[in-house]
Structure 1
Amino acid sequence: MKRLAAAIILVLLGAVVLGVGAYFSYGIFNNPSQKPEQLANTALLPETPKDTDIEANNIKEEEIVKIKPYTKMIYEYYYKDDRNTERSEEDPPHFMIGKTKEEMEITFDQWEIVKFTEEEVIMRRQMEGSSAQNYIVGVQDGYVAVFYNEAIDGAKIKEITDTPVSALPEDERQKLLDGISISGEEALMRLLEDYTS
């Protein structure tokens, strides 16, 4: 009889433990005020991904804005001396196609990128001198150089670039040896960028 009583007590005790466990488990899984992170920390459920992880995984490469062949490139040159802004618009050169804003900021660190969309990129640069300055691009000591068309303050050379003429194709070298006449800083900067890219 004692054994029967002990077995009944053990069964009842087991039932109570299971009942209490089921009660608390039901409360954890059905508590609407408890956040998913709290449930994950109980080690009863697998950890759920955070919203920011889901958003980061949903960003597609197509959403990153890049220059396309149809992008309108607008260059604005602000001349400090006469406070004049010249603006030109053209198709993007081949080496710009596929570049992001960040890549353009690295490549063109002298420029301020005012607007950057697939439809239109506006780049602005402050220039020394006036907008009507005339130059000759030629060769000095084996490098591409810029000369004033008329000497300014006794100086004929405006600048000597880091671009060796020997690195250019033969037809470009001949043009430089003959001298290329350029009017305005805008045209000069564009020509020099073509030689340095």
Structure 2
Amino acid sequence: MAAMPFFDGHSGRVHYRHWSAVGGPVVQLVFLHGMGQHTGHYHRFARGLTPAGIGVWGIDQAGHGLSEGDHPGTVAQLAEDAALVTRLAEQHAPDVPRVLMGHSLGAAVSMELLLRGDSGFRRAILCGTPKTAAVQQTADALGSLEIPLLAVHGVDDRMAPIDPVRDWAAGIAGLELREFDDAGHDLLHEKVHAAVTAVVRDFVLGAARP
């Protein structure tokens, strides 16, 4: 049995997973999970992408899953770990475009990583964006990135109510908000998961087109 892959992160060893694209990658997706989750929760999601030529990379964020750490740490620290798995994805297929996606806490970390300006992502997806991250400062900064952005959100999300997210998204140039009826916060684990995965898949594949 192959050893489980880890790298050294800000709070100790960080576990990561790579779901290989069928036939080789045309795009690589770096995925960051939410609070209380880990990459093992996302096998179904990854299986919905890999047949389309999308390689998926993810980490157990610090303090989650198989990664070390008593608590997650700051968003900035988590972004450092996310940058390291992004580097692994780049080394694996240096000429293949990369897309970033984060859910909830992972969405906040994704924004932090994007706004550092050196990540090389062609597109980004924010899922269940938390209200603490859906603020004017991030709207202004994201609008300056000049890359396509997609936000997916459940209309019935109680952890991150959609109305403030609608207002926030409306102020970001280049961002499309896709709303899902009868869905709450954890879109990829609700009854709409297949529809969300299809929207994500189509958006990610757009990074492979000229």
Give the shorter-chain TM-score range.
Answer: under 0.3
Question: Which structure carries more relative contact order (alpha carbon 8 Å, separation 6+)?
Answer: 2
Higher Cα radius of gyration: 1
Compare the two structures and name the one with the higher strand fraction: 1
Could you tell me the TM-score, scaled by structure 1's length? 0.26
